[in-house]
Amino acid sequence: MSIEEEVKEIVSGIVHVDKNLMARESTFKDLKADSLDIVQALVAIEDKYDIEIPDEEAQKFQNFGDFISFVEKKVQEGKS
């Protein structure tokens, strides 16, 4: 399973949205995620991949694609 698929799986379980409806262009607002959902998703992703997502970085995410790209980059950095 790719990182994108795993992230979708985690986030869809938290915000209760069908992961097939989650596009890279989607925003958390599109997914009807509230601030608690977003925090839970960030913590779950941090725990899953043993990465840190600083608040200032999280605030820069324009859409789900930005979030996935950030996670992919952090995971790759951790492997090198």
| 66 is annotated as an active-site residue | no
Given 18, 34, 50, 55, the catalytic residue: 34
CB atoms within 10 A of CB 71: 21
- Report the SS3 class of residue 59: coil
Task: State both tokens at 68.
Answer: 């996935």
CB-based contacts of 14, cutoff 8 Å, min separation 6: 33, 37, 40, 41, 44
Which sequence positions are flagged as catalytic? Answer: 34
